Amino acid sequence: MKHQPQREAVRRANQNHGRTLLARDDVIAVAVGLRQEKGEAVPEHVLKVFVERKLPREQLSPERILPQFVVLPGDQRVRVDVEEMQSPTSPPLHSPFGLEFQASDELRQYRRPALGGMSVAHYLFSIGTITVGVRDRRLNGAPSILSCNHVLARMNGASYGDPILQPATTDGGVYPRDMIGRLTRFVTVKFGPDSFNQVDCAVALPSRRNILQRVDFLGPPRGVRSASGVWVGEQVQKVGRTTGLTRGTVVATDAQLKISYEALGFGNGVALFEHQLITTNMCGYGDSGSLLFDDDRNAVGLLFGGSPTHTFFNYVEAVQNQLGVVVSEKIV
């Protein structure tokens, strides 16, 4: 469903109007998506506005009615389409009900060298997933472990050099026996009404060469997808510590969204993110950090949040640029 001119108009509409719409209390996310008709996607790019509960217009007070169109310079109109979404959390806290549960016990056990998809976390945090082994540009290309900030750095709360366990404590990991490496750095997640983030990620330096640049079941990334080249409707897949290998569909791109970090007692409430990727539900608690692949096994996203209806990813291209790591040199 590739309609480039139409999609570019919707992207501009998101840039011009997205933050105003997201500022509404009832709006969770604003993104580029496809119009829904009788529950099915049709090949028309629209500005998607996601809300907790979609009500008929006649049941809404005037101030809660969303516009049917937004207008670009030159009087070009872009359709607005409203869709339901359960509010996301980071990490995702829901159980993987409804997913085909394929997680192998091997993903939760001690393994050296470790692979993407396996259990990992800061020694004082519960559980997460290794994204993949990467090369750290700031350490002369040293093999390193990539995952989320909230997994490896306890949501901005860790110190550089803190121990990282594989498997994580929830899976029986014990310090110092199961230490795989130490925290190198993280990109700070900012909170506040005017602070928009693009990534929730961190990197750790393993002891010896205890990480491989591949994901269990799927192998090494062949390349990294350019953020601008990811399309709504694409089929994608990931491997995570909790749900194993799952498949899903890209629901929206270029998303601006609100996500809560409150549930596990760290963070300062709701954080704002921009330029994110939204898929159908592909995850459960413990899958934070999972690497999203397309069907050609190119790296697309890094899983950082979820809800029972949707899963949320940073673009890998942004992770590479902001953290200073290399998932793959090839941009496709």
SS (HEC) of 118-136: CEEEECCCCCEECCEEEEE
Estimate to the nearest angstrom the gap between the alpha carbon of 295 and the chain centroid: 18
pLDDT of 293 over the 70 cut: yes
| Between 68 and 40, the higher pLDDT residue | 68
Task: Look at the chain and count its residues.
Answer: 332
Residue from 162, 127, 154 nearest 261 by CA: 154
The pLDDT of residue 268: 66
Q: Which of 215, 214, 200, 283 is nearest to 248 (CA)?
A: 283
Q: Using one digit for the tens of pLDDT, what is the confidence trace for 195-238?
A: 999 999 999 999 988 999 999 999 999 999 999 999 999 999 99
Q: What is residue 2's predicted lDDT score, i.e. its pLDDT? A: 63
Handedness of CA 111, 112, 115, 119 (dihedral sign): positive
- Pairing of the two strands 69-72 and 76-84: antiparallel
How much is the pLDDT for 232? Answer: 96
pLDDT at site 97: 59
Asked if pLDDT for residue 63 goes beyond 60, the answer is yes
Residue 114, phi then psi, degrees to nearest 5: -85, 165
- Tokens, residue 97: 């009900």
Domains and CATH numbers, the chain: 4-84 (3.30.300), 105-189+201-214 (2.40.10)
Q: Give the model's pLDDT for residue 62.
A: 75
Q: Which two tokens stand for residue 329?
A: 């040199």
Q: Which residue carries 């472990």 as its tokens?
A: 145
Of 1-10, 136-145, 202-211, minimum mean pLDDT range: 1-10
Q: Which of these ranges, 37-46, 116-125, 279-288, has the smallest mean pLDDT?
A: 37-46
What does the pLDDT read at residue 101? 54
Position 74 scores a pLDDT of 87
Average pLDDT, the chain: 93
Q: What is the mean pLDDT of residues 285-309?
A: 97
Can you tell me the distance from the alpha carbon of 134 to that of 131, in angstroms, rounded to the nearest whole number?
Answer: 9
- Cα torsion for 79, 80, 84, 88, to the nearest 10°? 120
As a whole number of angstroms, the distance between CA 187 and CA 322 comes to 7
Report d(CA 74, CA 70) in Å as an integer. Answer: 12
177-202 average pLDDT score:
96
Cα 115 to Cα 112: distance, rounded to the nearest angstrom: 8
The confidence score (pLDDT) of residue 38 equals: 79
Q: Identify which of 130, 86, 158 has the alpha carbon closest to the alpha carbon of residue 312.
A: 86
